[in-house]
Amino acid sequence: MNTDPITGTYSGNRGLQIEEPLIFEQGEEGRCGVDLPEPPKVSSRLGGLGRKKPVGLPGLSEPQVVRHYTRLSQKNYAIDMGLYPLGSCTMKHNPRLNEKVVRLPGLGDLHPLQPVSTVQGALELIDTLAHWLKTLTGMPAVAMSPGAGAHGELCGIMAIRAALEHRGDARKRILVPESAHGTNPATAAACGYEVDPIPANAKGRVDLEAFRAKLGPDVAGIMITNPNTCGLFEPDIVEIAEAIHGAGGFFYCDGANFNAIVGRVRPGDLGIDCMHINLHKTFSTPHGGGGPGAGPVVLSEALAPFAPVPWVVHGAAGFDLVERDPKQQSFGRLKGFHGQMGMFVRALAYMMSHGSDGLKQVAEDAVLNANYILASLRDVMSPAFPGTCMHEALFDDHFLKDTGVTTLDFAKALIDEGYHPMTMYFPLVVHGALLVEPTETESKDSLDRFIEVMKGLAQRAKSGDAAHFEAAPKLTPRRRLDETAAARKPVLRWVPGSNSAKAAE
């Protein structure tokens, strides 16, 4: 028996970390986890279109299935496993209290097709959450139905377009700073607008002069992420709002980083017309792999009449859902049903358990933790911009100059140290960017351990040990992937006889 070239073990396992084949590779024809009676003979009504060959499902016993998925779950790194430094998206700890609340009878078994009279409590919950969101943002209206952040962006831009069409104003450009989230230009383009980028200045903020130069009668609006993707607050945001309004356009704010300012700044006071709020980032909720999310959009008085239906109203007969209102100019329905109820419950539970002072503390602690990392690594790494940050510690790759180590190499080495890599090469305005967002739930001890690892890796790179980084990660079930091949020639389907381990590499 040969040993594995990486692990040196006969099995390919590393200690108790077990090499996990695909479930199809573990299956065996004829094996089954349950005993089922032979199905009765019935005449086929498929007209000869019945399957000619076996389905090809894997045959496994119950213990095999349980062990397979349990081992897969252990390979899923998340914030429940350790510090999760991924920047640009706030990966918050999800208090288990929220999970207990959302599973309560009456909430966990709700159905969107229930008669309104039977879901009065659920509608009251949506109405209460809407009140909190309007209070925290200083905005008069909120659309609750958008299903996630990018969906919220779509909602906001559609409201802007509806408002412009209502006044017979055909505008075609949306201004998007380079420091905005990558979904912003995609959303503007999806709504039929020409995306006009605004460069960042030397301090990583919107270049005010370049912004003013682009204003004109064909500008529908501007989309700004604040705090921006460089982890910085836009100090000229009120001036920008006044200028875009003076030009007849609207101000969309990407609220994905609201976690850093909730309870501290009300976007409505800054002159913003609409902003999505990622409930699954700012107010906890487990997320990943594309969902679940919730992206309610707060709206100014100018855009409120164009909000999507439905919305909740409270009258003499109780709560009701408005699907059509001739007094409003809603652009219609954005999605099926009324929004992500499970996310609504978790978000409201988070808000009520923290209270207004607790939410303010969340923002302060998140910014404090990010600045602690930034200050602690300032001497061994290279901060992208001088001064403090607003919620993310952003470094460029100058500290790796002449070491032979790239940003990608550095991040891969972090995996061997037991950490998920930070965001790399984003934002694009920073060369070789490393974007770290620790969030407010990390303790000082946890931050210190992460900082020591980062310092150690930085010093190792500067010492000339590039070989250590080029080979990383060495301690994972799979080595570094050929990312180009994985993107251009993905192996999406297992074929009998194929080598899944080779396909993964």
Q: Are 237 and 257 in contact (CB under 8 A)?
A: no
CATH code, domain carrying 290: 3.40.640.10
Distance, in Å, from the CA atom of 410 to the CA atom of 28, rounded to the nearest integer, reads 42
Query: For residue 503, what pLDDT is reported?
Result: 66
Residues ≥6 apart with Cβ < 8 Å to 236: 205, 206, 208
Work out the pLDDT band at 324, boundaries 50, 70, 90.
confident
Q: Is residue 333 part of a domain?
A: yes
Could you give phi then psi for residue 137, rounded to 5 degrees?
-100, -15
Q: Is residue 90 part of a domain?
A: no
Same domain, 362 and 324: no
Query: For residue 460, what pLDDT is reported?
Result: 96
Which of 352, 373, 398 represents a domain boundary (last residue)? 352
% of the chain surpassing 90 pLDDT: 66
Both structure tokens of 144: 């609750």
Q: Is residue 51 part of a domain?
A: no
Residues ≥6 apart with Cβ < 8 Å to 254: 149, 153, 180, 181, 183, 184, 223, 224, 225, 226, 275, 276
Name which residue leads in pLDDT, 504 or 139: 139
Work out the pLDDT band at 126, boundaries 50, 70, 90.
very high
Same domain, 217 and 262: yes
The pLDDT tens digits for 157-180 are: 999 999 999 999 999 999 999 888
Residue 313 has pLDDT above 90, yes or no: yes
Same domain, 364 and 342: no
Range of the domain at 230: 98-352
Q: Is residue 82 part of a domain?
A: no
Indicate the pTM of the whole model: 0.88
Mean pLDDT of 211-226: 95
The pLDDT tens digits for 72-117 are: 988 888 888 899 998 877 888 889 999 999 999 999 999 999 999 9
Q: Is residue 492 part of a domain?
A: no
Query: For residue 169, what pLDDT is reported?
Result: 95
Q: Point out which residues pair with 196 in neighbouring strands.
A: 175
Same domain, 346 and 378: no
Which of 336, 352, 368 represents a domain boundary (last residue)? 352
Q: Is residue 502 part of a domain?
A: no
Same domain, 364 and 347: no
Mean pLDDT of 295-307: 96
Residue 362 has pLDDT above 70, yes or no: yes
Query: For residue 308, what pLDDT is reported?
Result: 96
Mean pLDDT of 294-314: 95
The pLDDT tens digits for 460-483 are: 999 999 999 998 999 888 888 888
Same domain, 145 and 62: no
Same domain, 421 and 437: yes
Same domain, 483 and 344: no
DSSP 118: G
Which of 293, 317, 352 represents a domain boundary (last residue)? 352
Sign of CA dihedral 420, 424, 427, 433: positive
Same domain, 361 and 310: no
- pLDDT mean across residues, the chain: 91
CATH code, domain carrying 370: 3.90.1150.10
Residues ≥6 apart with Cβ < 8 Å to 434: 381, 394, 395, 396, 397, 407, 410, 411, 422, 423, 424
Query: For residue 18, what pLDDT is reported?
Result: 85
Q: Point out which residues pair with 174 in neighbouring strands.
A: 195, 221
DSSP 397: S
Which of 27-36, 128-137, 434-443 comes out lowest in average pLDDT? 27-36
Same domain, 189 and 283: yes
Q: Is residue 504 part of a domain?
A: no
Query: For residue 94, what pLDDT is reported?
Result: 87
Query: For residue 504, what pLDDT is reported?
Result: 61
3-state SS of 239-308 is HHHHHHHHCCCEEEEECCCHHHCCCCCCHHHHCCCEEECCHHHHCCCCCECCECCCCCEEECCCCHHHCC
Same domain, 309 and 189: yes
Same domain, 482 and 381: yes
Total domains, the chain: 3
Mean pLDDT of 126-151: 95
Distance, in Å, from the CA atom of 417 to the CA atom of 452, rounded to the nearest integer, reads 11
Query: For residue 178, what pLDDT is reported?
Result: 86
Q: Is residue 79 part of a domain?
A: no
Work out the pLDDT band at 3, boundaries 50, 70, 90.
confident
